[in-house]
Structure 1
Amino acid sequence: MTVKVVSAVVILIVTWILAKVVKNLLSKVLQKVSFLNRQTDGETLAASLGSIGSLVIWLFGLVAVLNVFKLNEAVTPIQGMLDDVLGAIPNILAAGLIFFIGFVLAKIVRDLVVTALQAANVDRFADKLNQKASAEVAGVSGDVAQGTDGASRVGDTSTGGAGQLRISTLVGQILFVVVLAVVSISAFDALGIKAISEPATDMLTKILDAIPAILGAAILLTIGVVIARIVGNLLESVLRGFGVQRAVEGLGVEAGGRDVAAIGAKVAQVAIVLFFAIAATKMLNFPEITNILNTVLALGGKVLFGAVVIVVGVFIANLLAKTIGTGQTAQIVRYGTIALFVAMGLKYMGLADSIVNLAFGAIVVGGAAAAALAFGLGGRDAAARQLQKLQDGKSS
């Protein structure tokens, strides 16, 4: 029994020494990692990990003491727990090493991409596009509200602030997350804990599978916006060259100080962007959004075609009125033609078909009734004379 006591005391002394050494060694080594120097309840993470290592050594020492006294009933559950912990340590270390390497690799990729994009002046190009768009908006505002030169000059001084997120930084952060997600899948697999690794792996796999579709949709939508800008500017120049503004004003249509060419270009730009947005939603496999955009595009096409019909009707009405000349007849023909083409335009738009049909029928019936009343009231005396002649003829 004395030998067992001496052995237990020796084991405890050795355990105490090893625990002190492990605690100090882990604390000093881990303090060199900046991430582990954060304070938690007055103690750094490095010191906490050192204490955990010391407690693990004490746990092994106590198990050894229990084995000396052959207390199998107390040793068996603790020994089983230690075996499980020791079996999981290699997997945890492997997962931690994989994640650390992946984290470093992701930072390198992010810094490399950000540096490359900055060297290619991508941020400056994006700023120029932003300033150009802002200038266009300021120009439109200046056309609508004149006499605000001071406010315009104040607006011109605004440039891209330093707080704005740069394109290079955004792309770098996206690639950082992608690389870290790929490495995280391998780290979870190395853990060997299926309850954690399988759901996390499935989730990350779905995210990675969705990334190409998201990037493709974003690229497609960006191309659509660029094409819309080019086509819009080209169409605006062509419409200005053909003198659309003068032609519209010559038809008697009041533009209200608005640029007809710019409005037509904006409509074309919106249509092109909608078309590419539909293609992007198809790539993302969002059928609900695709159906909504298809409906909007179809309705927009009907409205646009109906508006064209109405504009053509106004042109024809003015042409007929000028051909007939001045007077009440010309005005009746003019407004009647406009009403007819407005009804046709609303019919093509699909807006309130029943109301248009009812209104058109009411106009026809009202006109017929008015003609009948006018003929009846105006011909009353003539009809009375004819009846009197008939009566005189019979009486004679």
Structure 2
Amino acid sequence: EQQIGMKADAAGILGKLTYWFIFLIFLVPAVDSLGLTTVSNLLGQVIGYLPNVFVAILVLFLGTLAATFVADLVRGATASARIGNPNIFANIARFAILGFVALIALEQLQIASSLLNILFTAIVGSTALAFGLAFGLGGQDAARKYLNRAESSVSTAASQEQIQQSTGPMQGLPQTASGRSGLRPQTSYNQPLTER
């Protein structure tokens, strides 16, 4: 429903801009015929600037859809991986994309390019810091579980090796009912024969 509302709002704004764009195009010859050169030049500048407004609105519309889509993907991925709070990661991704989209739209509108460069650098740095903190704080439990699992597996393997070394090579020999080894002592055949 929210995406449908955004589509309707964007379509309405683009429709109004198209109406005024066509109106101004036909207004310029009428003003020229009246000899109002200053007004005609001003209208020409407005007509030349309106395509930038079209592109900026289109960028904002598509960027909002992309931000919502990526936020849903991030929320699902973090929820399945059980890393931190999925809503925090989704909001970070959404606002990061919306920030980039807003900068692109303002650049298209030719508003304070130098200021936009500073804002762009600040947004990139803050986004990287936010992701680092979120992954660092959210991934502590997962990293701790992984290390505990690895430590337990190593200790289990070491204990099994110690057991094998303590039992020695007699471990695999069959046992008799008395608990002794099933091997018989070898008889010596080198004893001298007795006389009859």
TM-score band by shorter chain is 0.5 to 0.7
1:311 alignment partner, one of 112, 137, 144? 137
1:178 is the counterpart of 2:18: no
Q: In the TM superposition, what is the alpha-carbon distance from 1:293 to its structure 2 partner?
A: 2.9
1:204 is the counterpart of 2:29: no
The match for 1:264 is: 89
Q: In the TM superposition, what is the alpha-carbon distance from 1:218 to its structure 2 partner?
A: 1.0
RMSD after superposition? 3.3
Q: In the TM superposition, what is the alpha-carbon distance from 1:294 to its structure 2 partner?
A: 0.5
Compared CA separation, residues 173 and 215, structure 1 to 2 (3 A)? closer
Residue type at the aligned position of 1:272: I
Q: Which has the larger radius of gyration?
A: 1
Task: Please list the CA deviations of residues 121-179 of structure 1 after superposition, one character each: whole Å capped at 9, or x if unmatched.
Answer: xxxxxxx326889xxxxxxxxxxxxxxxxxxxxxxxxxxxxxxx966654443333222
Residue type at the aligned position of 1:265: A
2:122 alignment partner, one of 296, 300, 322? 296
Unmatched 5+ stretches in structure 1: 1-127, 134-164, 249-259, 324-396
Compared CA separation, residues 132 and 236, structure 1 to 2 (3 A)? farther
Task: Please list the CA deviations of residues 183-234 of structure 1 after superposition, one character each: whole Å capped at 9, or x if unmatched.
Answer: 111011111x3xxx22111111111111111110110111111011111111
The match for 2:32 is: 189
Residue type at the aligned position of 2:58: I
Q: Distance in 2 between matches of 1:184 and 1:132?
A: 33
Q: In the TM superposition, what is the alpha-carbon distance from 1:301 to its structure 2 partner?
A: 2.8
Compared CA separation, residues 291 and 265, structure 1 to 2 (3 A)? same
Residue type at the aligned position of 1:129: Q
The match for 1:277 is: 102
**Contact 2:64 2:98 survives alignment (8 Å):** yes
**Contact 1:232 1:268 survives alignment (8 Å):** yes
Q: Distance in 1 between matches of 2:139 and 2:68?
A: 31
Higher relative contact order (CA 8 A, sep 6+): 2
Unmatched 5+ stretches in structure 2: 150-196
TM-score, normalised relative to structure 1? 0.32
Q: Distance in 1 between matches of 2:137 and 2:102?
A: 29
TM-score, normalised relative to structure 2? 0.61
Q: Distance in 2 between matches of 1:316 and 1:234?
A: 20
Task: Please list the CA deviations of residues 301-337 of structure 1 after superposition, one character each: whole Å capped at 9, or x if unmatched.
Answer: 3422541574389559957x979xxxxxxxxxxxxxx
**Contact 2:71 2:93 survives alignment (8 Å):** yes
Where do 1:1-396 residues align within 5 Å?
128-129=1-2, 170-191=13-34, 193=35, 197-244=36-83, 248=84, 260-286=85-111, 287-308=113-134, 310-311=136-137, 314=140
Give aligned pairs, total: 146
Residue type at the aligned position of 1:184: L
Q: Distance in 1 between matches of 2:18 and 2:88?
A: 40
Name the structure with the higher helix share.
1
Residue type at the aligned position of 2:130: L
Q: Distance in 2 between matches of 1:316 and 1:238?
A: 15
Q: In the TM superposition, what is the alpha-carbon distance from 1:243 to its structure 2 partner?
A: 2.1
Q: Distance in 1 between matches of 2:80 and 2:143?
A: 25
Q: Distance in 2 between matches of 1:166 and 1:306?
A: 36
Q: Distance in 2 between matches of 1:204 and 1:130?
A: 35
**Contact 1:274 1:293 survives alignment (8 Å):** no
Residue type at the aligned position of 2:62: I
Compared CA separation, residues 313 and 209, structure 1 to 2 (3 A)? same
Q: In the TM superposition, what is the alpha-carbon distance from 1:271 to its structure 2 partner?
A: 0.8
Sequence identity of aligned pairs in percent? 20
Compared CA separation, residues 132 and 233, structure 1 to 2 (3 A)? farther
Q: In the TM superposition, what is the alpha-carbon distance from 1:261 to its structure 2 partner?
A: 0.3
Compared CA separation, residues 167 and 183, structure 1 to 2 (3 A)? same
Compared CA separation, residues 166 and 242, structure 1 to 2 (3 A)? closer
